[in-house]
Amino acid sequence: MQRLLPFVACLVLAALLAAPFVAQATTSAAGPAPSASPPLSGNAVAPSNPQALIGPVATQIAAITGIAISPLLGTGAYGAYHWWQAKTPAQKAALPWYASPWFWLPALLVAAACAAKDAAGAALPPGLKKPADVLETIENKISGLVAAGAVIPMLVSGLSALLATSAPDAAGTAAAATSAVASHATLAAHGLATLPGVTAAFDGSWLLHMAVLPLGIAAFVVVWMASHAINVLILLSPWGAIDAGLKTARTTLLGAVVLVPAINPWAGLILSLGVIFVAWLVAGWSFRLTVFGTLFSWDFFTLRRLRFYPQPLANRMFSSALLKRVGVPMRSYGRLFNEPENGRIVFAWRPWLVMPLRRVEVRVDNPAVARGLFFSTISNGRDTALILPPRYRGHEEAIAEIYAFEGGVQEAGLLRAWSSLRELFGGSAARTQIGG
């Protein structure tokens, strides 16, 4: 049943998006309803034309997807665009907070600094680049939380307003729909758009808003996690060339999500929904990498290794390639239990951190602790069984003694690029290390 959830969610989202177009097509087939309003003039589009709606809808969904891919850059660019579009001081004063130069200008400067760091990444030594990568990972988390709590609800509210204005009895022009989105953003900026009463009075359908809002936020979260996984992969990567390739791929995708709707709204809508669908399929992998990156950053910047000492019975760490062979997903966060009375070592973890506890016996031939420059691992010399968070740096001897590892502590050395690439997507963590 769980395997069908992504498909069910996508069908529900597709149904919500298709309903207005079906309603318009039905209205068009039945003939125009009598109206006392004057005929539309100029380039106004009649409500019976679905093309009047697809452009704004594709733009809203692309904005949600683009901000999820890069929250700081996306939110800053989106705010700068709205500020540029506002022509009068009164219009600028009515803009949401993220469209203020006090926000979008520093946001774009920070994004530019990250881009400069990536451009010079190949020339920077690991001792300088990795701390900068950790800082960027923290920035991505903070900006993602801000966007999820403040910006995305505004965009989703605007999307529900667009869908509501497409009903057969609505005003019926693309200009009216665009005006509705702008007015709804103003309500959201004052904290009113999320109130069912205000939303119902505004767009005529609080039920539609309540259905679209959780789907929109869920879409943002899964795309953000998939994008954030790139930051964590960069933390694991030893070479700047790999970092540059990952960042280039993400920036290219962001550019396509933003530009394609302006060229072809239908293609832009399909691209954005495709990105959301793929992100949903890899949500488990992305979630585990997100947890890994969060703990890695916390341990690194708080110098937790100075306040930490391994426990004699159980210690928290991440699974790796050897445990994947016995059914443990890569980088699952759990505890390694020492059971000397049974002569075995057991790894216990909870899927998604909250699911029922699972346990598996760890069997490694000639196990040893491989000491890396930024984090260490437990391996058999060829493949990695477990990844130790940075808090264990300097405590490798204690871990080897607690679990009675025959190989003791060994230094991880420089290894081939292919091994590093394999680690990025599920191989041996020890092979990405630069000996320290």
CA-based R_g, the chain, Å: 26
pLDDT at 343: 77
Better-predicted residue by pLDDT, 190 or 96: 96
What is the rounded average pLDDT of the residues 285-303? 89
What is the rounded average pLDDT of the residues 423-429? 49
Residue pair 150/98 in contact (Cβ under 8 Å)? The answer is: yes
pLDDT at 226: 93
pLDDT at 364 over 70: yes
Nearest of 81, 83, 79 to residue 71 by alpha carbon: 79
- Answer left, alpha or beta for residue 351, where phi above 0 means left and psi between -120 and 50 means alpha: beta
CA angle at residue 231 from 229 to 233, to 5 degrees? 70
Residue pair 308/247 in contact (Cβ under 8 Å)? The answer is: no
Structure tokens, 169: 């009895």
Better-predicted residue by pLDDT, 425 or 232: 232
Q: Find all residues with CB under 8 Å of 208, minimum gap 6, and list them.
A: 16, 160, 163, 164
pLDDT at 181: 46
pLDDT at 339: 85
**pLDDT-based confidence at 160, cuts 50/70/90?**
confident
- Edge to edge, the sheet with strand 409-411 lists 358-362, 344-349, 333-339, 314-319, 384-388, 376-379, 368-371, 409-411
pLDDT at 300: 84
pLDDT at 57: 86
pLDDT at 391: 93
Choose which CATH entry (3.40.50, 2.30.29, 2.60.40, 2.30.30) describes domain 307-432: 2.30.29
Q: What is the pLDDT of residues 390-408, one digit of tens each?
A: 999 989 999 999 998 888 8
Burial bucket for residue 121 (CB in 10 Å: 0-12, 13-18, 19+): buried
What is the rounded average pLDDT of the residues 264-271? 92
Task: Kindly report which listed range (35-39, 142-146, 254-258, 260-264) carries the lowest average pLDDT score.
Answer: 35-39
User: What values do phi and psi take at 371, rounded to 5?
Assistant: -85, 120
pLDDT at 178: 44
Count CB atoms within 10 A of the CB of residue 187: 20
Mean pLDDT of the chain: 76
Beta strand 409-411 with 384-388: parallel, antiparallel or unpaired? unpaired
Q: What is the pTM of this model?
A: 0.72
Helix, coil or strand: residue 171: coil
**pLDDT-based confidence at 149, cuts 50/70/90?**
confident
Residue pair 396/376 in contact (Cβ under 8 Å)? The answer is: yes
Residue pair 154/67 in contact (Cβ under 8 Å)? The answer is: no
Most confident residue range from 21-35, 123-137, 226-240:
226-240
Rounded CA-CA distance 184/109 in Å is: 29
Rounded CA-CA distance 322/342 in Å is: 21
Q: Which residues of 242-269 are buried (b: 16+ CB within 10 A; e: fewer)?
A: bbbebbeebeebbebbbebbeeebeebb
- Give alpha helix (H) positions in 264-301: 265-281, 283-301
pLDDT at 47 over 60: no
Q: What is the pLDDT of residues 212-229, one digit of tens each?
A: 888 889 999 999 999 999
Q: What is the pLDDT of residues 181-215, one digit of tens each?
A: 455 445 444 444 444 444 444 445 667 777 788 88
- Give alpha helix (H) positions in 147-205: 152-165, 174-189, 196-203
Count CB atoms within 10 A of the CB of residue 357: 10
What is the rounded average pLDDT of the residues 362-381? 84
**pLDDT-based confidence at 301, cuts 50/70/90?**
confident
**pLDDT-based confidence at 358, cuts 50/70/90?**
very high
The domain limits of the chain are: 2-27+48-293, 307-432
pLDDT at 381 over 80: no
Structure tokens, 110: 């920070």
Count of alpha carbons within 13 Å of 327, Cβ hemisphere only? 9
